[in-house]
Structure 1
């Protein structure tokens, strides 16, 4: 998305940092969300409810990343590291009818993830997905024996939901996943298909990887905590923002679309045979 260019500063403004970043300016709102567009000296931050705000950033903007034990450590960054897909908290000042970023706070772990998504090679992606690819050969062989997806009956579906930009499971999500696995264990020849999704916030590349990470997290939990055998899974996948179940123009709709769908499948040939 192209953003408008910043208005040129007057000579007085250009020569006096205090007029732009000092106490003479009125405090603006605190904006918390995800960077969804970046051009030159401006970023667009979209909140969880879908509101987009354009904010000016330049050498006067302080950028801090927190990390380490309990998030107590912090380090200074520069504005060049503010990229699409990065969750941020921005303290602003009002300036010429717009907003200037006084300070941008972010998490080091989020920066690492966004950087990986932006510039990773296929090898780096493979390293992050190793946990869901270990059993691909067995899953593909099983799928070959049992046919294509339209040759399955769906015997149960559970959706688990995620916060914006996140892929960690809630306690409720963990319980629902294991409950589904227990249900599937009672069915002969049942397989599980895991599909991850996102809402419409963020660009396509970011959402593709985010949906895959959500699917991967669910697969890991199924196998490591719920005792589901790896060979009884079809290849998991991420679908980004495809197949929304609700309207992405509302916060409620976005929350419903940030999901992983876990499906119990049984071969039609097995049931009919």
Structure 2
């Protein structure tokens, strides 16, 4: 009977148990994993990848990370490339180790064919993105300031000539809009000035639609702004005005320019 071996078996079992307890910690900190997915963002040394489970993974790269562009069906043929090859829309395979809340990449590889497609998409996407950002941003093509006598809403001959010139330019402009704001000087009370500024704006709107020949849908309702910001104190002829602008949506114009 080999009783001396019993204590040895106990020691071995204890050592194995200790090793098993330590394994999860080792796997969490140092085990290399593979992440396959689509690059959605590149910011400095951080790339964001949406994996096959549609989960977003944050991955950092460093000086030791290698980058490979593979060719052929097997991917056996490859060439080394730089970090600058990474771009949104590129499918990648990342070998990485856990690091904090994300991962640290040891190798990033991608197919040559996928790289070409991502390049083509990026080349066509930049103008489209800029155009989308421009929607709702207006560019003024022409401006007219119609001046009024004190307390009046009557448009002078000079004012009508300026409005006719702006209307002519508008008719030659695709997808134009006309926006306008009415103002007063600082004499009188605030409520009266507000009403007067609105009436002046309405007078100009009516003239553009009824006499200058602009479509009602192209002329936005005028805003009464009360006292002009540059009115100063007292009677100021330059503050008694309606400011009219011929504008176009930059996003729409960018699309038509193609």
Question: TM-score normalised by the shorter chain: which range applies?
Answer: 0.3 to 0.5
- Normalising by structure 2, report the TM-score: 0.45
**Bigger-Rg structure (1/2):** 2
